[in-house]
Amino acid sequence: MGLLVHINRRIGGSGVLWPLDVGCPFRGPGRYNWVMAVKKDGAKFVEVKATVAKQRGWRIFSFVLDSETFDRIAFVSRKDDDKDAGYQRNLSKQRAADIARYIDKDNGCIPNSILVNLEEGATYDEKTQALRIPDQPKAAWVIDGQHRMFGLRQARTTYDLVITAFLGIDVAEQAKQFKTINSKQKGVPTSLLYDLLDLTKDGTYVQQRGHELATTLNEDPESPWYGQIDLTGSGDGLITQTRVVTAVENLISERGALFQYSEEEQYGILRNYFTAIKTIFASDWGNKNSVLTKALGFSAWLIVLPQVLTICLQRFQDFKIKSVLAVLTPIKTHNFSVEHHKGWAGHPGENRLAGALADALKSSEPKEVTKKDSLQLV
């Protein structure tokens, strides 16, 4: 066995492992943790010194691993065989870029741990405290810390990471831990679990994702609906969360036009779509005398969205704002006044308005389009 990489100092009593080369704020004697490469019986393993915490029957392992080795064995999506595709399809590229910049240019550190589940083949020796992990792709599924991992993958700096791990818990328990952690903090939407674990996207997924999309539309400063969706039932806002979720659920359910797209793509489509609508109908947006941003208009626009999406992909092979603006040109003269739509209520009214908008778009009859691996939104 040969010593490979990174020696780290454990600060006595603090429970935190600090790399010696990132400016540890503590000094003094301590003990060391190490990473070793072990080859036995033809199989290669990463071996680390790990400590175990026991909590209500759970064994939770803590250890240090350099980011290069961690990147080699960790993964975020069971659905994607290609690791890069798993990152690109499911996570925020902007957040990852921000983390990479923080690491490389701001001399930033990441003291908080990344939580993983160590997959089949990992073992722990109680006597020696040696944790052996197969040195292969998909040896550690990331439960919490996906964007930090994505950012480190883009960064030029190699880091020592603090890793917290479960050992061999089943998929159902992994899903439970993912939901518990990510429902308590902002970052990764809990419905993303269905893509990362490749679970069946059932009614629970659709409901969770619908609420997440409504919340993001309301909280993203770049969203045309920023601060304009009533999330609490207080009466503030142009439209209620319930109306948004109900309308969006039809698009993200199994037969919906947005079902095949990733979480980030779904949101990008909605944001770009309504940004274009707000640009064209600026005088109607938020106008109490217009149905544009009332329940009637919102639902009608989402009924028409699949047609607009298909035309954009046919004409421009993307769904950028400028492409949506071009496609919606035939609708720009439509009268959205409340007076003009008097008596257009409920689902019949929504379908009637959607039909009028769809008829105006028929000047560009779409052909069948095959979805690209990655939808261009910017």
Residue 190 amino acid letter: T
Query: Are the C-beta atoms of 241 and 214 separated by less than 8 Å?
Result: yes
DSSP states of 192-230? GHHHHTT----HHHHHHHHHHHHHHHHH-TTSTTTT-EE
2-10, strands of its sheet edge to edge:
17-19, 2-10, 31-40, 43-49, 130-134, 123-125
Q: Are 219 and 273 in contact (CB under 8 A)?
A: no
Q: Are 135 and 44 in contact (CB under 8 A)?
A: yes
Q: Which element (helix H / strand E) includes 101?
A: helix 93-105
| Alpha-carbon gap, residue 230 to 82, rounded angstroms | 40
Q: Which long-range contacts (CB under 8 A, 24 or more apart) does 138-142 make?
A: 138/73, 138/75, 138/78, 139/73, 139/74, 140/70, 140/73, 140/74, 140/75, 140/116, 140/165, 141/74, 141/75, 141/76, 141/78, 141/116, 141/117, 141/174, 142/74, 142/75, 142/76, 142/114, 142/115, 142/116
> β-strand 58-66 against 43-49: which pairing, if any?
unpaired
Q: Quick one: pLDDT at residue 20?
A: 27
Which residue ranges make up each domain of the chain? 2-196, 203-364
pLDDT (0 to 100) of residue 41: 55
Alpha-carbon distance of 312 to 242, in angstroms, equals 28
Whole-number pLDDT of residue 325: 95
* Cα-based distances in Å from 351 to 93, 251, 297: 37, 15, 10
Ordered per-residue pLDDT tens for the chain, 378 residues: 333 333 333 333 333 333 323 333 333 333 334 455 555 555 698 999 999 999 888 889 999 999 899 999 988 765 555 545 544 445 667 777 888 888 888 778 888 889 898 988 899 999 999 999 999 988 998 888 888 888 888 888 888 999 999 888 777 777 777 666 665 555 555 445 444 444 455 556 787 788 889 889 999 999 999 999 987 666 778 988 888 888 998 899 888 999 888 888 999 999 999 999 999 999 999 999 999 999 999 999 999 999 999 999 999 999 999 999 999 988 888 999 999 999 898 889 999 999 999 998 885 555 555 555 567 776
Q: What is the distance between the alpha carbons of residues 288 and 237, in angstroms, rounded to a whole number?
A: 12
CA pair distance 323, 329, nearest whole angstrom: 10
Q: Which of 150, 135, 166 is nearest to 69 (CA)?
A: 135
Dihedral angle over CA of 12, 14, 15, 20, nearest 10: -70
